[in-house]
Structure 1
Amino acid sequence: MKTEKSGLVGAGLLTAVAASLCCITPILALVTGVSGVASTFSWMEPFRPVLIALTLAVLAFAWYRKLKPKPVNAVDCACEDEKKPSFLQSKKFLGIVTLFAVAMLAFPNYGHVFYSSKEISKVNTSINIAHKNFQQVSFKVRGMTCQSCGEHIEHSVNQLPGINQVNADFKEGTAAVQFDPAKTNKEQLVQAINSTGYKVQAEIK
């Protein structure tokens, strides 16, 4: 029985993490400096609704098993002492796992706070808006699945010199960049985007 309950908790935790891997990986890439792994789990995005539903179902069943009344035995056995469950079998641990799972499932909604690229873009725009030589280019980018993915691309492109503004839209699968051609060229922009693990498919004319 204890093994079964532990398995339910573990399964709920695993599916919650799996449901968010496509959006967690860009943050890990930023922290570790290994940008190329950002899109490693982007292929899992189509399965995210299923994984979310599975997580909620497993955790709901685990709570049901934990809270359901124990059957009343017709004959009480005095020789059987009821042992206090370990921490891993406790409601407190299940509550911690549930909160962590919810945080993982909601990660795409707040993952962008780990980036400051939009702030950089706004500052650069306000300073350089009078510059008349900026060029605008837009790319079709494959692999973005959530806002964190777009933020990761923006962060990477903003490391180049002469970037005035960059906006990566994961819903449209595009990245638009305003840049100074005297300091940066299109090839460098493509390299910066591709270095994140997401791939430029074509320039949008």
Structure 2
Amino acid sequence: MAQLNAKSSLIASTAAAIGASLCCVAPLVLLTLGIGGTWIATLTALEPYRPIFIGLTLVFLGLAFRRLYLAPQVCAPGRPCADPRTVTRQRLTFWIVAVPLLSLLGVPWFAPLFY
């Protein structure tokens, strides 16, 4: 059960981070691909919701961190979660997901440097 909750927290934080950075990442990607025009300015419709998405991202990442590092895992012997390699893989997956997510949250501040 703890493995499922950690996975769902990572998935939810990924979705929230994508939502938080969508207003700035989408125009940047389109401009990088050479697609431009005045209509790109209308892609900022999600900008008012960005603080909500940022908050959700941080909450879900915090929940996943808590499950993986702070909360003791209770697991019956013979179950996959009893294997220390499983916990190591979960923690590695957490950091592989968390670093790009936190980078995505910073895109709106760094995007003006590129266009």
CA distance in 1, matches of 2:87, 2:73: 18
Q: CA deviation digits over 1:90-115, x for unaligned, max 9?
A: 21221121111111111111112223
Equivalenced residue count is 109
Query: Would the aligned equivalents of 1:13 and 1:97 in 2 still touch at CA under 8 Å?
Result: yes
Question: Higher Cα Rg: structure 1 or 2?
Answer: 1
- Cα offset, 1:40, TM superposition: 5.4
CA distance in 1, matches of 2:16, 2:45: 15
Query: Would the aligned equivalents of 1:25 and 1:40 in 2 still touch at CA under 8 Å?
Result: no
If each structure's strand is expressed as a fraction of its own residues, which one has the higher value? 1
CA distance in 2, matches of 1:109, 1:97: 20
Detail structure 1 runs of 4+ shifted over 6 Å in the superposition: none
Q: Which residue of 2 aligns with 1:111?
A: 111
CA distance in 2, matches of 1:14, 1:70: 26
Pairwise CA RMSD: 2.4
- Cα offset, 1:32, TM superposition: 1.5
- Cα offset, 1:24, TM superposition: 0.8
CA distance 1:22–1:69, change in 2 (3 Å): same
1:8 matched to 2:9: yes
CA distance in 2, matches of 1:93, 1:60: 14
AA matched with 1:109: W
CA distance in 2, matches of 1:26, 1:106: 15
Secondary structure of the residue that 1:34 maps to in structure 2? Answer: coil
Structure 1: 5+ residue runs without aligned partners?
A: 116-205
- Taking structure 1 as the reference length, the TM-score comes to 0.47
If each structure's helix is expressed as a fraction of its own residues, which one has the higher value? 2
Q: CA deviation digits over 1:120-175, x for unaligned, max 9?
A: xxxxxxxxxxxxxxxxxxxxxxxxxxxxxxxxxxxxxxxxxxxxxxxxxxxxxxxx
Secondary structure of the residue that 1:80 maps to in structure 2? Answer: coil
CA distance in 1, matches of 2:101, 2:22: 12
Structure 2: 5+ residue runs without aligned partners?
A: none
1:65 matched to 2:67: yes
Identity over aligned pairs, percent = 28
Matches within 5 A, 1:81-92: 82-83=82-83, 84-85=85-86, 89-92=89-92
CA distance in 1, matches of 2:5, 2:72: 17
Query: Would the aligned equivalents of 1:25 and 1:39 in 2 still touch at CA under 8 Å?
Result: no
